[in-house]
A and B are shown apart, each in its own frame.
Chain A
């Protein structure tokens, strides 16, 4: 049935509540969580050739997690009242989970990094195992922030936290590949040709691991879109917005094609032995994940509510 001509003559629109500070915060926590997980995997496996990667990522995770909440505080209308989050907590709000997770996780991360750098394997492993659930929840809760703001149909899906965690893994591994490649190229002069060969192999393996997480990410995105397109009216509108509407270039073009499909071909295709291809793929992946945060945060709020 076709709707009769409906013309909204007057209504009030309020300003965009969440701007890209929030998206950037999601991006940084994602990078941090991804690199922390890689670091703990390297520590737990305990092989000698993984050590450089384990060390780089151990220091990356807390640094990124110190940058991330600065975005949040800058976004507040009353930045000097940020301590209210700790004092006047509300357990039904996902932001409260976050304010405590964002305190606990960097502490564990910093002690873990000290243990890794002082080469104390035992405590590093224990802290790593303790830290992984923290790292996953510090990023997973950001998915809940969007999912529990149930007014916005693009956000209000149960897949949101999982999509966030998987895309965090993707971007985190991408960053590790880039930094490991920089180390390989310029800061690894003393190494013997054998260890250099090993390092290169390791970077390529990481890039392949990244391609597999991209596949998981694509599966989650496809299932999310499929459900959006077949659920209620608002959800259909949200699905069409990112597939054909204002955000289709960012979503289909940048996030899916440039940020997922092309990197996958670069890493798994005929260029799979090339370090340059792995680095280019990692840069593209990070651009794609940043675009994903943009589409989610800004795109979710574009659909008028009433």
Chain B
């Protein structure tokens, strides 16, 4: 029951100096057991509600890939969200340090500092950043940092009906996430990008983790003038 008591997420906001030291040692991570995922998109909905993600953009979603042809066909799911990488290319390439990494490993975007140059979106190998059409800045999944600070787990983890998502401190060997990581074969998306993602998958399909889609046809989009948002 530790998911619901929030034990897995750490000790809440630091109060004393010793607590601060503890907070610096925390490194949050997530394991997604894809074998348990039923593709219900509850995480997408919970994320939208919790973080007020506008229409047309998503911080979390479940990618669905079909393999084979009837009757030998199967659907595979891949919950997608920001990997909050250890070596985040977005934070390295951000010209204003609006994208930065918190001490506990969550990659953040400072709303008041972001100028919307979109270079982080171009740099991210996982395509998880989006432009908030109301605030005109770049946003992403922050692993619900306000909930982490309150000692809770992210909204998607809380919502997942099959408990496919496990969240916690990677540095604490006793946390559920560390125990699951230690005893299972796990994968990360695009290991060759040297980003050291903090979202690990158990039993993810190779096709879902690669880009099997067709090329995106951008010729239909306004290429010479920006989208005008009101």
Contacts and interface: CB of A to CB of B under 8 A. Distances in A.
A and B form one complex: yes
Interface of A: 3-21, 72, 74-78, 81-82, 84-85, 88-90, 92-96, 99, 145, 148-152, 232, 234, 241, 245-246, 298, 301-306
Contact of B96 (A85, A145, A241): A85
A293 to B, nearest CB: 12
Nearest to A15: B131
Contact of B64 (A10, A74, A302): A10
B122 A76 contact: no
Closest 10 CB pairs of A and B: A77-B116, A95-B95, A151-B125, A17-B121, A17-B118, A9-B64, A77-B136, A149-B123, A7-B66, A88-B96
A77 B118 contact: yes
Contact of A151 (B67, B73, B89, B137): B89
A4 B74 CA distance: 11
Interface of B: 57-58, 61-69, 73, 75, 80, 89, 92-98, 113-119, 121-127, 129-131, 136-138, 189-190, 192-193, 207, 209-219, 221-227
A8 B205 CA distance: 12
B123 A246 contact: no
Contacts of A21: 224, 226
Contacts of A302: 215-218
Nearest to B217: A246
A4 B206 CA distance: 12
B67 A93 contact: no
Given A12-B80, A19-B226, A148-B93, 14 more contacts: A6-B212, A9-B75, A12-B58, A14-B129, A15-B221, A16-B218, A78-B114, A92-B92, A95-B93, A149-B93, A234-B211, A245-B215, A298-B223, A304-B211
Given A78-B114, A89-B95, A145-B119, A305 B125 contact: yes
A150 B85 CA distance: 14
> In the complex, which of the residues B114, B119, B126, B217 has the most CB atoms of chain A within 10 Å of its own CB atom?
B119
Contacts of B64: 8-11
Contact of A5 (B69, B121, B209, B213): B69
Contacts of B193: 150-151
Nearest to B210: A306
Contacts of B58: 12
A95 B189 CA distance: 27
The SS class assigned to the A binding surface is loop
Contacts of B95: 85, 89-90, 93, 95-96, 99
Contact of B65 (A7, A72, A76, A92): A7
A298 B207 CA distance: 25
Contacts of A90: 94-97
B117 A15 contact: no
Contacts of A81: 113-116
A8 B216 contact: no
22 contacts: A3-B207, A7-B67, A8-B63, A8-B65, A11-B213, A12-B80, A16-B221, A18-B119, A21-B224, A77-B138, A78-B116, A78-B137, A90-B97, A92-B92, A92-B93, A95-B119, A145-B119, A151-B126, A303-B211, A303-B215, A303-B216, A306-B127
A20 B225 CA distance: 8
Contact of B131 (A77, A94, A246): A77
